[in-house]
Amino acid sequence: MSDERSQRLFEEACDLFPGGVNSPVRAFRAVGGQPVFVARAEGARLYGADGRPFLDYVGSWGPMIVGHCHPKVVAALRDQAGRGTSYGAPTELEVQLARRVRAAFPSVEMMRFVSSGTEATMSAIRVARGATGRDGLVKAEGCYHGHADHLLVRAGSGAATFGQPDSAGVPADFAKHTVTVPFNDVAAMEDAFAGEQGARMAALILEPVCGNMGCVPPLPGYLEACRDVTRKAGALFIMDEVMTGFRLAMGGAQERYGVTPDLTCLGKVIGGGLPVGAYGGRRDLMELVSPVGAVYQAGTLSGNPMAMRAGLATLELLGEPGTFERLEALGARLEAGLRAAAGRAGVPVTVQRVGSMFTVFFVSDAGRPLRTFAEARTADTARFGRFFQAMLERGVYLPPSQLEAAFLSLAHSDDDVDQTVVAAEEAFRTIH
């Protein structure tokens, strides 16, 4: 349901970029049709190439928590552009942003800014390997941690198995160090860290609330068990809070669930829509990083002043009283509205939500919880595709995949949410 201009641009883009896009999920392959090319955005809305507005529940896949073009973020960027966009030398801005990160995440005693979430997870794993002298890595099925070689590994079904590469071009020698376990399965986690195999594991990397198989919250006690198991095995617990950091609470999922990891990865919100990632944690671990220690990691644009300014302005706005309560209330309103609309339309769905992250899963029996990747994959992707298109026609832009979380922002109003619910009820009725 894209406009004519988007269609022409997409045709040319397909000749220039693989699949016409610079990141795969933007291509709409999971929902059919062609992508809307975005001309601009403001508040909670995107505007397509022909000027048509869409209520945005993607938020650039998480960063735009204060909405698009917030005047304070724009002013900070305008000011910084006049002072220089990159110096390749340290700045006070990095110190200021790091202060804010540490105030929100007490477990992050020291950190490094990088330019993407992928760089953050890749570097945190290098630190974990450097610290433990071990190569093995445990990850949960359905969690996405960026596209570094050892993280693009498919799970064996059921029990933990040594991984096979999930992408062409990943050496099997690399992938073999990654063990994959089902999310929310404590016994599988214990197995992965047991015995000789456990003694080879440097770390567990985990999305504490998974967003990359759709929104799948941790079961009560799961994160605590992950903490215990890794500690006992002499391995590190890396929480990948690239999506959840500064989104589920100021201090991310670790604040919300009260579980402290050894290392944390951040991204998305801390860059306020500019390219930023960060990794950090215990001082003794971060002091292993170059130039203090032997774990090498560097970046031409790391700590980029434009990105620091956008991040600082965004975190300042988030720090205002009541912001997370507001996001929670908006989320609850939307969740209840969507569930009721699906009920009235007679379409069975499960709505899963934590704070301002949510997914409407199309399931066979309404309300059945989806706790693992295997369960999430039972959702009806064809039905979701039809729902997605029906919502797009009604001016609501959802993530173009059943297995991705959607995001609310502080720019969404109660009216926006109520309009979305009205559109959703119509859309549910069209997909029988």
Residues 189-248 that bind ligand PLP (CB under 6 A): 207, 211-212, 240, 242-243
Residue with smallest beta-carbon separation from ligand PLP? 117
Q: Which is nearer to ligand PLP, 73 or 114 (CB)?
A: 114
CB 88 to ligand PLP: min, Å:
21
Is 350 near ligand PLP (CB under 6 A)? no
Query: What amino acid is encoded at 409 in this protein?
Result: S
Is the distance from CB of 315 to CB of 304 less than 8 angstroms?
A: no
| Interface with ligand PLP (CB under 6 A), residue from 136, 163, 267, 355 | 267
Set 257, 268, 279, 416: catalytic member: 268
Instruction: Choose between 347 and 408: whose C-beta lies nearer to ligand PLP.
Output: 408
Query: Which of 26, 112, 126, 145 touches ligand PLP (CB under 6 A)?
Result: 145
Using alpha carbons, select from 56, 45, 39, 49 the residue that is nearest to residue 397: 56
- Is 6 or 180 the residue whose CB approaches ligand PLP more closely? 180
Q: Does 116 bind ligand PLP (CB under 6 A)?
A: yes
> Which of 74, 50, 49, 70 lies closest to 59 in space, CA to CA?
70
Per the annotation, the verdict on 139 as an active-site residue is no
Contact residue for ligand PLP among 113, 144, 237, 257 (CB under 6 A): 144
Does the protein bind ligand PLP through residue 324 (CB under 6 A)?
no
Residue 144 a catalytic site member: yes
Q: Considering the rule CB under 6 A, would residue 355 count as an interface residue with ligand PLP?
A: no
Is residue 118 part of the contact set for ligand PLP (CB under 6 A)? yes
Chain residues 279-318 in contact with ligand PLP, contact rule CB under 6 A: none
Tell me: does residue 117 bind ligand PLP (CB under 6 A).
Answer: yes
Q: How would you write the chain as a 3-class SS string?
A: CCCHHHHHHHHHHHHHCHHHCCCHHHHCCCCCCCCCCEEEEEECEEEECCCCEEEECCHHHCCCCCCECCHHHHHHHHHHHCCCCCCCCCCHHHHHHHHHHHHHCCCCCEEEEECCHHHHHHHHHHHHHHHHCCCEEEEEECCCCCCCHHHCEECCCCCCEECEECCCCCCHHHHCCEEEEECCCHHHHHHHCCHHHHCCEEEEEECCCECECECECCCCCHHHHHHHHHHHCCCEEEEECCCCECCCECCHHHHHHCCCCCEEEECHHHHCCCCCEEEEECHHHHCCECCCCCECCCCCCCCCHHHHHHHHHHHHHHCCCCHHHHHHHHHHHHHHHHHHHHHHHCCCEEEEEECCEEEEEECCCCCCCCCCHHHHCCCCHHHHHHHHHHHHHCCEECCCCCCCCEECCCCCCHHHHHHHHHHHHHHHHHCC
Task: Report in angstroms how near the CB of residue 271 gets to ligand PLP at its nearest.
Answer: 9
Catalytic option among 144, 222, 257, 279? 144
Residues 39-98, interacting with ligand PLP (CB under 6 A): 61
Question: Which residues, in sequence order, are bridge partners of residue 114?
Answer: 277
- Which CB sits closer to ligand PLP, 48 or 252? 252
Q: Does 261 bind ligand PLP (CB under 6 A)?
A: no
Tell me which of 240, 279, 397, 416 is the catalytic residue. 240
CB of 218 to ligand PLP, least distance (A): 14
Nearest distance in Å: CB 253, ligand PLP? 11
268 a catalytic residue: yes
Minimum distance of ligand PLP from residue 145's CB (angstroms): 5
- State which residue, 213 or 341, has the beta carbon closest to ligand PLP: 213
Closer by beta carbon to ligand PLP, 19 or else 395? 19
Q: Summarize as ranges the residues that interact with ligand PLP (CB under 6 A).
A: 61, 116-118, 121, 144-146, 207, 211-212, 240, 242-243, 267, 277
Active-site residue numbers? 144, 240, 268
